[in-house]
Amino acid sequence: MQERNLLLERLGTALKYAILIIGAIMMVFPFAWMIDASLMTSSEIQRRPPALYPAEVQWQNFTQLLDVLPFGRLYLNSLIVTISTVIGVLFTSSLAGFAFAKYQFPGREVLFYIILATMMIPFFVTLIPVFYIVRQLGWIDSYQGLILPSITSAYGIFLMRQFIVSIPDELIDAARIDGAPEPMIYWRIIIPLTRPALATLGTFVFIGSWNAFLWPLLVINSRDLYTVPLGLNTLRTFAAEARNLNLLMSGTVLSVVPTLILFIFLQRYFIQGITLTGLKG
Amino acid sequence: MRRRMIWGYVFIAIPILWLLVFSLGPILFSGWVSLHRWDMITPVAEMPYTGLENYDYIFTRDNVFPKALGNTFLFAIGGVTTNVVLGLAFALLLNTKIRGRTLWRVLYFLPVITAPLALGVIFAFMFNRNYGVINNLLVVLNLPRQGFLNDPNQAMFVLIAIAVYQYVGYYIVIYLAGLQDIPQDYYDAARVDGASYWQELWYITLPLLRPVMLFIIVTNTIGALQVFDLVFATTGGAPANSTMTVVLYMYNTAFKYSRMGRASAMAFVLFGIILLITIVQLRLFRDRTTA
């Protein structure tokens, strides 16, 4: 009887790992296939059936790709936009979160509810008006057009307020007694103490901003200002016509690698953020 | 004290201004535009008022919008159902004694942080009728080649599969957090009474996971109703509009055909649906906190 149970348990464990491994292979397979194809020749890909692996690894796909699409420039643009957006969101969210958590002023509750309400507005409803406003401001085809509309986040303000509420008032009062002006309290006390929340929010905003496609597609016309997703989209149409599928895959590799690397290093914060929004939000 | 009050206003000034200009104002403006005919070139003051004409048009005379709405629902229902079940199954597996939990989590999570546009490019390549790896696997297994994204009867299901692939890791993480919130005492007590694994699952785990499951259903539905990048990168709504979704059609109507009024009406219809779901969510969560 006991032996049978042990056997069953072993079988169960083996099955468990088998399912997890199959699942993981399915998850990684598209990425592996993308890297595989990015190192083939175009004819190897289009042969019927295509090659399973490159007869000879085509590293030159990547150098050829750089002739078609200036990836350095795309990275630079994406970095400028993404980092500015992250800094903007972290700054405005922590400031407003601080004010809503620790200051008394008339209208505080109402304004906070308004902010909560804007969290429910989906992006596509505001797309046409925001595009119109940005155009009226003369921000089409500019970094500010990409960055400025998204430097505040209702969700960010909410998250930071929840976090700052739990900071003891005594810390703030002690600083005031020492004669610290309010902005210094924000900078010297609030910012250091909210670092984990800032890291979580920052990771989210970074990935969202790096992957953003629709807004840049609307705002940017000139290739000099293309972000990585816009470049990938151009490559997509180009590859469909020219049948340069190997270059398309090299481009996709270059476009996803930065977020993958960032995630591997910061996954703790990311998972934390999800659990936070998923259950306590 | 007064000076401190002023600092409060200073600190919230930029976010409040921004939300007014880029969020609250636009939604009112969008509602206003949906009652007009507008090409975005005519000055705002001169756009002709048409009443509910745009709403009437998209439901009764436009033959793509109802279809797009149906497709969007199909996409949401198919994806959400699969995510709810598959996410739970894998979360239950990962919640047992298992080696390398972080590694599994990272692997299952990779698609979540990848741009939907990039995943669309990769999958359009993998599901290609002529040279795609999926068709080649079918041939190896002696099965007939499929049209996939080129077949009007299959394309939407391929898109659902891609969306599940992309987001199931996200829901696994949420489920896992929910599972870890369930006190171990319940299971210990059940075991003393001789409950089997399936009884524990049915009488303890599932009832206690109900709020998490509701959260997943509601947020996943709201997200799926807004799908754009994935469809744009794979089919663009083709073949025969079988994968046309509301946001993609709205985007085309506005930025290809310059019909801002109609596009705004579409946006508002979808927004109304999402708002309804959000209200349901809020009610469900209120029940949860008072219970």
Q: Which of A196, A221, A199 is nearest to A135 (CA)?
A: A221
Could you read off the pLDDT of B112-136 as tens digits, one per residue?
Answer: 999 999 999 999 999 988 888 898 8
Residues of chain A numbered 118-137 and touching chain B (CB < 8 Å): 118, 120-130, 132-133
Cβ contact (<8 Å) for B121 and A232? yes
**Does this model's pTM top 0.90?**
yes
pLDDT of residue A280: 47
- Its sign, for the CA torsion A103, A109, A111, A116, is positive
User: Nearest chain B Cα to A21, which residue?
Assistant: B104
Mean pLDDT of B229-252: 95
Could you read off the pLDDT of A124-145 as tens digits, one per residue?
Answer: 999 999 999 999 999 999 999 9
Contacting residues of B for A28, CB less than 8 Å apart: 107, 110
CB-based contact B228:B248 (threshold 8 Å): yes
Say if A280 is an interface residue toward chain B (CB within 8 Å). Answer: no
Q: Which of B22, B278, B279 to mutate to test the interface with A (most CBs of A within 10 A)?
A: B22
Mean pLDDT of B197-210: 92
Length reported for chain B = 291
Cβ contact (<8 Å) for B233 and A28? no
Question: Does B216 or A53 have the greater pLDDT score?
Answer: B216
Which one-letter amino acid corresponds to residue B140?
Answer: V
Could you read off the pLDDT of A178-215 as tens digits, one per residue?
Answer: 989 999 999 999 999 999 899 999 998 999 999 999 99
* Inter-CA distances, B43 with A12, A42, B47, B107, B261, Å: 69, 50, 7, 52, 14
pLDDT of residue A4: 76
**A84: pLDDT strictly greater than 90:** yes
Question: Does B191 or A239 have the greater pLDDT score?
Answer: B191
Q: What DSSP designation does A279 have?
A: I
Say if B290 is an interface residue toward chain A (CB within 8 Å). Answer: no
Q: What are phi and psi of B161, to 5 degrees?
A: -60, -40
**A276: pLDDT strictly greater than 80:** no
How many whole angstroms from its chain centre is CA A99? 27
Q: What are phi and psi of B49, to 5 degrees?
A: -75, 130
What would you report as the CA-atom Rg of chain A, rounded to the nearest whole angstrom?
Answer: 25
- Tokens 């997703």 correspond to A229
Could you give the CA distance from residue A167 to residue A273 in angstroms, rounded to a whole number? 19
B204-231 in b/e form (b: 16+ CB < 10 A) is: bbeeebebbbbbbbbbbbbbbbbbbbbb
Contacting residues of A for B226, CB less than 8 Å apart: 122-124
Terminal C-alpha separation, chain A: 49
Angle (CA) A262 A267 A268, round 5°: 140
CB-facing half-sphere around the CA of A278: CA atoms within 13 A: 23
Could you give the CA distance from residue A254 to residue A6 in angstroms, rounded to a whole number? 49
Contacting residues of A for B141, CB less than 8 Å apart: none
User: Nearest chain B Cα to A185, which residue?
Assistant: B7
Say if A196 is an interface residue toward chain B (CB within 8 Å). Answer: no
Mind telling me how many Å the CA of B205 is from chain A's nearest CA? 16
**A270: pLDDT strictly greater than 60:** yes
Could you give the CA distance from residue B183 to residue B192 in angstroms, rounded to a whole number? 15
How many whole angstroms from its chain centre is CA A202? 9
CB-based contact B252:B228 (threshold 8 Å): no
pLDDT of residue B116: 95
Could you read off the pLDDT of A231-247 as tens digits, one per residue?
Answer: 999 999 887 766 788 89
Contacting residues of A for B136, CB less than 8 Å apart: 49-50
Residue A53, Cβ density class (10 Å: 0-12 exposed, 13-18 middle, ≥19 buried): exposed
Cβ contact (<8 Å) for A105 and B5? yes
Question: What is the full DSSP assignment across B81-124?
Answer: HHHHHHHHHHHHHHTSS-S-HHHHHHHHHGGGGS-HHHHHHHHH
Say if A5 is an interface residue toward chain B (CB within 8 Å). Answer: no
Which residues on adjacent β-strands are paired with residue B49? B36
**B1: pLDDT strictly greater than 70:** no
3-state secondary structure of B49: strand
Q: What is the mean pLDDT of chain A?
A: 90
Could you give the CA distance from residue A121 to residue B92 in angstroms, rounded to a whole number? 34
Could you read off the pLDDT of A36-69 as tens digits, one per residue?
Answer: 999 998 888 877 777 778 888 889 889 989 988 9
Q: Is B169 left (phi over 0), alpha (psi -120 to 50) or beta?
A: alpha
Cβ contact (<8 Å) for B14 and A275? no
Q: What is the mean pLDDT of chain B?
A: 92
A73-85 in b/e form (b: 16+ CB < 10 A) is: ebbebbeebbebb
